[in-house]
Structure 1
Amino acid sequence: MRSKQLVSLALKQSRSDLRTFEWRALLLALLLATTLATFLTLLGNQLEQGLSRQSASVLGADLSLSDSKPVSEDQLFIADALNLQYTHVIQFSSMLSTEEQILLSSIRAVEAPYPLRGELRTDPPQATPVPLPGTAWAEQQLLQRMGVEVGTTISLGYSSFKITAAIISSPDRGNGFRSFSPQLLINRQDLEATKVVQPGSRIGYRTLFSGTESQIRKYADQLNKALTPQQRLWSVYADQPMAAGALKNASNFLRMTSLFGLLLCGLLITLSLRRYSSVQYRRSALLKCLGLKPKQVLHLYLIKLIFGWSLAAILGSLISIILLQLTGSLLQTILPAGLPAPDYRLALIGPLLSLALLLVIGFSPLLQISRIPVMGLLRRDQLSHQGLSWPARLVILFLTGVVIALYLGSIINALVAILLTVATILVAGLFASLFLPPAGRFFARYSRLGRLLGFRIRQQRQWHRIQLGIMSLLLALLSSLLLSQTELVDRWREQIPKDTPNQFVINIQPWELEPLSDFLQQAGLSPNLYPMIRGRITRINDQLPAEVLTPEQLQHNSLKRELNLSWAAEAPQHNQVIAGTWWHPETPDNLISIEQELAESLGLKLGDTVGFEIAGQKLNATVRNIRQVEWRSFRPNFYVIFSPKAMAQYPQTYITSFKLTGEQAALSRELLKQFPALTLIDVSQWIDQASELITRLIQASTLVLGLTLCAGLLLVQLLLYQELEQRRHENALLQVLGSTPRQTRQLDLLEFALLGFASGAMAAVLAEIMTGLISFQLLELPLILHPVIWVLLPLTGCAIFTLGTLISRRRSGYQQLQQS
């Protein structure tokens, strides 16, 4: 038969197969696979880009380069070559004054365009992106502490500025403690006239850059190779504080959701192909009887699959794009900073992915169809297919892993997915053999339906093994996805708990401790006060750092600057000692506690000695323990804590933090009035921005989770419908032999309820394993057990399968047997 005739025959058979449930089920499986893969790809890309944009709105740019002097022309030349947009910011601390008040404030001198990402919101709204010359915009905290309003004139150095707007929220607050002080925004043109910037002044120069992700990453790589010790690079794609971990977890969750959606589609295509191929054996034998060769039969069915895929690809792509448009308004409320336009080039991924899965998974069933002998027309035992050899199975598994790896961009995730799927099918098949026959014998003792159930279990044992494997994996995927998202949300929320301090007080002198404590206690606050002094690491094990550390270790920021040091008789409650023990409060030895990341970066271990230069004096101390510090807790934290007597001879100041509610806003002004020498740092706006970002992450992940769960439940329903179609002829035959329609319906319900219970029990085991792997490897969360799923999943599986059977079951009877 010629190729043209083969294509024509494939087209005719495809049209005629539309009347069969198996072909329609396969087309629906392909349609769901294409739609789900395309939609999750487009949506995931939009959310990742949108969340990065939301993070950039906190930074004010895609990349920020800070320095103690203006950026060099060479670095700007590279930015120009990459077509990056940039703007310059000068930030410093200075005193502001009115006729009645003075206040230490952080001044930002900016130029248009500013900011490059995010939005600077003011009240009243301003028509210009930056203040006009001679005017300034002030934060609400500054206005409150100075007791002034919009329209007031304030003095900065030798210049006066009229406050024309209050800053409601602002990106790009800078870094360091100066970034948390109440801020005033002025035009860079006015800076020289103030004469506050003089030689020797502590000035922060910051250059903001924006561009595409590839441009920013390329520029960051070039800058990192030539950064000076004073320069610091912040990137929205790398190490932005707070947002980095949250965005990394969000991106991993989106990819994990895509992986689970991909596995769901693969499971459905696998089962649909297996069902379709099983009913095509007799037709294959007939085609061979009419003269077709096995190779031509293989090509014929391959062409039919291509036809089916083409139809599913077109419809699935259109449906996914429509769904993306329908969810657009919801996504805009989730990410007010806006979403980028969908990259419709990615819409090809879904159809190509479903095609790859179809060809890889369909290779085995098509090969089995082509091997059916002509004698299958006369002898039913000849219709049994021959299994593939182990090398062929390994090739199929390898190709499936390649498809998944290309889609996810991760070989490890693809390998884990394949291994879990294969292991699940094998273990679930063993579990079905051990659990279902005894359950059938148990029901047989009490009712005639139980005996029929036992007979059906023996008759369908091969299918039950496959069904239990697929259905338990399906339930495990859905439950582990739900558990992981719940734990991820809890972890995000824990980053900024309700009692997170939003006020820091520094430069507290020893004689101010008692009156300050009394003042705070009267206000209903009970913060801890921590001693603090600055020092620099100079030696490690009595050697210079350059003599014992690698070039990479020498680049650690702790060796380039002074560290905030403290001392304590007892371990801080919000730090966890992970190695060693804490010292006795009265120990005379010079002992230190080192933060975990610093110890790992410098290769420090228990018993090592570290030399410090503190207030011009040398001091050696021994590492007694290593602590785990949560830097995002907004509590005073330190890289190094000394034993108390080691620091007795050094001058000391104190630091504390506490939370003020909106009703206590006036307390900060009263605090500075009674203790004018203190420095009060308000971080509430930064916390609000970080909280908003985390809220958006939670909403976005919940949306993706809901869509995936809906797709999973739809797949469960389709699987049940497929199985019930296989029971129609059997139920009709039972009715011919005397069973009533009610009894056959009860038999179906009993079988699938039992199968659902067994699937749920198996899924509980798998969900614990999957959740552990996801939490530990992908989301970097602690491992915990979930005893509740051991009860809920079997009951949920039983309920879902029972309800699905009631919905999907079609009327079966003698008439259907006659019509067949």
Structure 2
Amino acid sequence: MSELSEMSVVPAKRSPHMLLRWSLRELWQGQLWPVAVALTLIIACVFALSALVMRVEKIMTDQGRSVLTADLVLRSGNPISSDVLTTAKTQGLTVSQQVRFGTMAFSDSNMQLVSVKAVASDFPLRGSLALKGKNTLAAHVKPGELWLAERLFSLLDVKIGDAVMIGDAELNVSGVIAQDPELSFNPFNQMPAVLIHADDVERTGAVQLGGRVSYRAYFMGADNALEQLQSQIELVPGQRWLSESTQGRTGDVIDRARQYLSLTLILVILMASATLALTCQHYTSSRRSTVAMMKSLGAQKRWLWRWLLGQLSLLFVIAAISGVLLGSLLEWLLRLPLGDMLPAQLPSIGVTPYITSLLVALLVAIPGVGISLVRLVNTSAVAVMQSQADHQVSSWRFALLLLPVSALLLWVGGNSLMWITLAGLITLLAVLAALGVLLVSLLRRKSWGAALQLALSRIGRSPLVTGAQLAALTASLMLLAIIWLLRTDLLQDWQQTLPSDAPNVFALNISDAERDAYTQALDAKDIDHSSLYPVIRGRLVASNGTSYLEQAQEQGSEPDEALRRELNFTWREQLPLHNTLSQGEWGGVGSVSVEQGIAKRLGIAMGDMLTFNVNSLPFEAKVTSIREVEWRNMRPNFYFIFSPDVMVDLPATYLVSFRIGAEQSELLNGLGRDYPTVSLLDLRTMASRIQVLLQQISLSLSVLAALGVVSGLLLVFTLLRLGLSQRQQEITLYRTLGASRQRISATVWWEYGLMAMIAGVMATFGAEGVVALLVSFGFELTPQWHPLLWLGLPAVAMLLVLALVQTMMPKLLKPLQNMA
């Protein structure tokens, strides 16, 4: 009676002190603590995830930019205009330049074709260049210095201090290039590297008009200045921007990782939001009788709003403080598995995670709490006696949903991956909810035991409510499955990017006379190697008699990049093991197999007659197959593979790839000495750096996926707990009508067991469908079947039900003991 006495005087006094005391009491003794917990978890999860995502993304970006040696690079086939460099400097960007060209290097006893990189004194702007002299280490190139790749010492038979002619310039060897931060991979166009200073380019005399020279401008600075520079500079033919997201295999990995991070964050927010909304709905349902009593004692709506908003404001402050503290701890715990992979100096997170977590919680709480509170405040005083007698509440309160929806639209924007996910989820939930209701309806038509029959009756009493419950439970299970399956598919794809047995050395330009001896030398040293690939350079010129270049001129468009240069052709009797046929059949007289990417770009179809040109000699071949090629696996791959009869009379050199360990450098040097005309491309350093990058990203995604799964399990637990708590009154009624404890217990077990099994199976269907869409259209990968999911997800649902029902069953049956 004391609480009712206090309540009766509240509308008159409206004491702020008394309101605060009641708010604290309501938080502690009422049903608001689950709302506070849900809100705290939202803030903690969003803070931890956004902070970790920010750190991981900065680390991935730094890794990518270290590989690029700058924040942004402009690559050009012609000298870069000084206007571009001036514009960059006026925007506060640091600028460096590089010139690349091929030329001959001469020592006293040997000569070798080399790839020269002429760099400025500040190269690299990012990453670490390690140059090892006789007794010194250096990180930058100075005028007059000459630094050689390790294998050039044996190829040229020189040592540090010896003179080497680079073109027309005589330079003394300063030392070895121990580590070059720039990663590149093209086994057909790479020569041993040489570093000189940009001031010495003119002395070499190797940069001539019409020569094959590449120019690069490197930029470093703020992201907004980089974006402004790109928008202001109009590229000319032969120019291209390079960034961490466009730099080959590493750029592809980073871009897909970013997509996954964003997707995981939004799915966690969706699950946490659903948890909050359900908890708020349960709270308002439990407090309707209290509000009705207060209205019967004279409380007005204005006072009720003051009372409720005071509680919620206090609740939000408590949740904000505890959520940020918990989120900071959670982010630290999430970083523990990544300790060996993260840099010693972690990037700062700034204030963004704090603002983001509080703003997300507020945007979610306004409709999640507001919609229920409007209905609660409009509770009629008559509801004290008749709970069904409630005023009709206007549907305008659902307009509060526009706040988070508008924020979502601004955030997601044109991200097709997000829209695919949301559209797929909504469609699948509607379909699966209908299927669940239909399945329950079919089961009710059969005769079962009393407990199961009562459970089916309870589930199927209201198709709308049943559909909503199944949809919610299915959605939560499906979301956690999507997060984990995407992580698994991405990691599997990245393992194919650089498999553990991928070759890390390519031997090129092997003559026909040396090919058998070279492979025998590899066999003698127990080196596992690929088969020999004959290689000859040529051009694709026409399709079905129509010249590609003439067609491009008529259309006024730029020819495809593959048409503007020589390509590497090969021929084989058998399909390479790492290629897959997507159309047609392998082989046939006068045939050619085409890689599907270039076939799509150039409109090449099965049966087309293609014209090629090798050493000014034209020949034709018919397209009999189209192949899928994984360009990122560091294996020999080709656009066009011919049948042997087409090119048997053309002179060719040979290519072989193999794998050696980091400690076998002397073996590689020995091959270089024994076969001086064979070019060796050593990719061990690049491969190890890509492996480290993939390992970092893989561990990060695993941690994030685990957090997403925990959020999903929390939502499932909340759904089941609220459903069970709502059974209390029904169970009391069943016992009053004579039902035994065993019958009631069996009914609860059947009801929630069936719900969990149906939701688990439907969630598996839904997860497979959504992941297939995301993988195909969002990540551009091949969809896969996940057989373990069909056992795992229903099992997880059943285990959750088992744990929760076992925990709550004594509490549910406690009134029965009192009755007994």
Q: TM-score range by the shorter chain?
A: 0.7 to 0.9
Aligned residue among 356, 363, 376 for 2:383: 376
Is residue 2:97 matched to residue 1:88? Answer: yes
Aligned residue among 38, 41, 52 for 2:50: 41
Contact 1:353 1:407 in 2 (8 A): no
Is residue 2:425 matched to residue 1:420? Answer: yes
What amino acid is aligned across from residue 23 of structure 1 in structure 2?
L
Residue 27 of structure 2: aligned partner: 18
> In structure 1, the residue corresponding to 2:539 is in which secondary structure?
strand
Is residue 2:230 matched to residue 1:217? Answer: no
Q: How does 1:506-655 map to 2 (within 5 A)?
A: 506-524=508-526, 525-539=528-542, 541-543=545-547, 545-548=549-552, 554=558, 556-585=560-589, 587=590, 591-619=591-619, 622-648=622-648, 650-655=650-655
Aligned residue among 458, 475, 481 for 2:477: 475
Contact 1:46 1:340 in 2 (8 A): yes
- Closer, same or farther in 2 for the Cα pair 1:416/1:682, shift >3 Å? closer
Is residue 2:69 matched to residue 1:66? Answer: no
State how far apart, in whole Å, the 1-side matches of 2:387 and 2:480 are: 39
Is residue 2:793 matched to residue 1:781? Answer: no
Residue 292 of structure 2: aligned partner: 285
Q: CA deviation at 1:491?
A: 0.7
- Closer, same or farther in 2 for the Cα pair 1:629/1:605, shift >3 Å? same
Moved more, 358-367 or 137-146: 137-146
Contact 2:47 2:324 in 1 (8 A): yes
Contact 2:429 2:475 in 1 (8 A): yes
State how far apart, in whole Å, the 2-side matches of 1:745 and 1:273 are: 28
Contact 2:441 2:460 in 1 (8 A): no
> In structure 1, the residue corresponding to 2:593 is in which secondary structure?
strand
What amino acid is aligned across from residue 532 of structure 2 in structure 1?
L
Residue 129 of structure 1: aligned partner: 139
State how far apart, in whole Å, the 1-side matches of 2:427 and 2:372 are: 17
What amino acid is aligned across from residue 73 of structure 1 in structure 2?
S
Residue 271 of structure 2: aligned partner: 264
Contact 1:728 1:812 in 2 (8 A): yes
Aligned residue among 38, 52, 60 for 1:51: 60
What amino acid is aligned across from residue 557 of structure 1 in structure 2?
E
Q: CA deviation at 1:455?
A: 7.6
Contact 2:548 2:559 in 1 (8 A): no
What amino acid is aligned across from residue 538 of structure 2 in structure 1?
G
Moved more, 810-819 or 506-515: 810-819
Aligned residue among 238, 243, 252 for 2:250: 243
Contact 1:108 1:185 in 2 (8 A): yes
Q: CA deviation at 1:378?
A: 1.8
Q: Deviations over 1:727-781 (max 9, x none)?
A: 5566678889999999977776665444433432332222222222222232222
What amino acid is aligned across from residue 795 of structure 2 in structure 1?
L
State how far apart, in whole Å, the 2-side matches of 1:816 and 1:310 are: 40
State how far apart, in whole Å, the 2-side matches of 1:132 and 1:4 are: 83
What amino acid is aligned across from residue 478 of structure 1 in structure 2?
L
- Closer, same or farther in 2 for the Cα pair 1:119/1:3, shift >3 Å? farther
What amino acid is aligned across from residue 514 of structure 1 in structure 2?
D
Q: Deviations over 1:27-57 (max 9, x none)?
A: 2111111222232223222222221111111
- Closer, same or farther in 2 for the Cα pair 1:86/1:178, shift >3 Å? farther
Contact 2:440 2:459 in 1 (8 A): no
State how far apart, in whole Å, the 2-side matches of 1:278 and 1:800 are: 25
- Closer, same or farther in 2 for the Cα pair 1:310/1:663, shift >3 Å? closer
Moved more, 557-566 or 710-719: 710-719
Q: Deviations over 1:190-214 (max 9, x none)?
A: 5566676677765443322222333
Q: Deviations over 1:432-482 (max 9, x none)?
A: 67449959998845xxx7687678657898766544332222122112211
Residue 505 of structure 1: aligned partner: 507
Q: Deviations over 1:162-198 (max 9, x none)?
A: 545661x321256755985443444445556667667
Q: CA deviation at 1:538?
A: 4.1
Q: Deviations over 1:96-134 (max 9, x none)?
A: 677777655444333332211222346699664314556
What amino acid is aligned across from residue 266 of structure 2 in structure 1?
L
Is residue 2:343 matched to residue 1:340? Answer: no
Contact 2:11 2:299 in 1 (8 A): no
Residue 366 of structure 2: aligned partner: 359
Residue 182 of structure 2: aligned partner: 172
Residue 327 of structure 2: aligned partner: 320
Q: CA deviation at 1:690?
A: 1.8
> In structure 1, the residue corresponding to 2:31 is in which secondary structure?
helix
Q: How does 1:760-779 map to 2 (within 5 A)?
A: 760-779=760-779
> In structure 1, the residue corresponding to 2:215 is in which secondary structure?
strand
Residue 315 of structure 2: aligned partner: 308
State how far apart, in whole Å, the 1-side matches of 2:582 and 2:298 are: 75
Contact 1:489 1:698 in 2 (8 A): yes
Long gaps (5+) in structure 2? 1-9
Is residue 2:809 matched to residue 1:800? Answer: no
Aligned residue among 112, 117, 126 for 2:121: 112
> In structure 2, the residue corresponding to 1:119 is in which secondary structure?
coil
State how far apart, in whole Å, the 1-side matches of 2:748 and 2:157 are: 77
State how far apart, in whole Å, the 2-side matches of 1:139 and 1:805 are: 68
> In structure 1, the residue corresponding to 2:686 is in which secondary structure?
helix
> In structure 2, the residue corresponding to 1:279 is in which secondary structure?
helix
State how far apart, in whole Å, the 1-side matches of 2:619 and 2:26 are: 85
Long gaps (5+) in structure 1? none
Residue 6 of structure 2: aligned partner: none
> In structure 2, the residue corresponding to 1:381 is in which secondary structure?
coil
Q: Deviations over 1:568-612 (max 9, x none)?
A: 455444333334444513x4xxx5433322232233334555544
Q: CA deviation at 1:485?
A: 0.8
> In structure 1, the residue corresponding to 2:349 is in which secondary structure?
coil
What amino acid is aligned across from residue 112 of structure 1 in structure 2?
S
Q: CA deviation at 1:424?
A: 2.4
What amino acid is aligned across from residue 406 of structure 1 in structure 2?
L
> In structure 2, the residue corresponding to 1:677 is in which secondary structure?
coil
Aligned residue among 407, 410, 433 for 1:406: 410
State how far apart, in whole Å, the 2-side matches of 1:656 and 1:388 are: 75
Q: CA deviation at 1:253?
A: 0.9
Aligned residue among 29, 35, 39 for 1:30: 39
Residue 685 of structure 1: aligned partner: 685
- State TM-score, norm by structure 2: 0.85
Contact 1:437 1:457 in 2 (8 A): no
Q: CA deviation at 1:698?
A: 0.4
Residue 234 of structure 1: aligned partner: 242
- Closer, same or farther in 2 for the Cα pair 1:178/1:689, shift >3 Å? farther
State how far apart, in whole Å, the 2-side matches of 1:810 and 1:145 are: 82
What amino acid is aligned across from residue 382 of structure 2 in structure 1?
M
> In structure 2, the residue corresponding to 1:350 is in which secondary structure?
helix
Q: Deviations over 1:616-652 (max 9, x none)?
A: 3444555444333222232222223344444355433
- Closer, same or farther in 2 for the Cα pair 1:359/1:810, shift >3 Å? farther
- State TM-score, norm by structure 1: 0.85
- Closer, same or farther in 2 for the Cα pair 1:685/1:277, shift >3 Å? same
> In structure 1, the residue corresponding to 2:785 is in which secondary structure?
coil
